Structure 1
């Protein structure tokens, strides 16, 4: 279930998130368009977080953003793209069920340069 807000902590990630820490994959993003594609392809119900994504976006071709791209989220938070895609872990339920997963191709990862509160519907723009 989507949350009503999240706190991005500088050089850490999302407050209280299991993947946060001093590394290059503090925040994961996946496009709603990618999730919808998987819903149609897999013919299964998929919801926010099923791919372990922290943030979902709309209207941004995430996989086309070069590493190093900086994005402002809302009024203050800034993240920097550090990785595009990742291997699915062995227990990925989606990959086990349909033998495919979109996260390795279209998910992106970032580190937090400037922290702040973010909210659903916040505008994400390239800096």
Structure 2
């Protein structure tokens, strides 16, 4: 079985965790309907403070369910929506995707990957000790940010648990994801 959606979540307020739902609607060029981060310009508080007119490259947050499994093995019980993701997926190494990858979810929705979510101190406030294992190291000693990826909505549509995910890589050379 290929990559698929495990759960979907949203929050109309700027909360750390999001409420799991039966489905979410992705709105072209805006994000997740009913989510606080919906909009063409940035909605993340720290980025709004820096420049409220910058484009919103963080419309949709995706996390791999395998990360929750990894954290559970370390003693951190985490459930869908706990880390603020809109879409929890299984069977796809999200953080290894290159920038510009397109993800098709369900029948119609399409997301373009823009970058990595930066683990922040809110994770530590949510679960003391959780921030450290969210930043790993690769073979060269460079930081690996494990807290998922961000994307923009290219085509709207409804996304539900169980939806399959098709991956379309961008033309080479591939550009490694950086935090957005």
Let me know the Cα RMSD of the aligned residues: 1.8
Q: Taking CA–CA contacts closer than 8 Å with sequence separation of 6 or more, which of the two structures ends up with the larger relative contact order?
A: 1
Q: Distance in 2 between matches of 1:98 and 1:3?
A: 25
How many residue pairs get matched? 125
Structure 1 segment 11-22 matched on structure 2, within 5 A: 11-22=29-40
Query: Partner of 2:68: helix, strand, or coil?
Result: helix
TM-score by length of 2: 0.64
Runs of 4+ aligned structure 1 residues displaced above 6 Å come to none
**Is 1:25 equivalent to 2:43 in the alignment?**
no
Unaligned stretches of 5+ in structure 2? 1-18, 41-55, 136-144, 169-180
Match of 2:101 among 55, 66, 69: 69
Going from structure 1 to structure 2, the CA distance change for 1:39 and 1:12 (only over 3 Å counts) comes to same
Going from structure 1 to structure 2, the CA distance change for 1:82 and 1:51 (only over 3 Å counts) comes to same
Unaligned stretches of 5+ in structure 1? none
TM-superposed deviation, 1:96:
3.2
Q: Distance in 2 between matches of 1:123 and 1:83?
A: 22
Pair member with larger Rg: 2
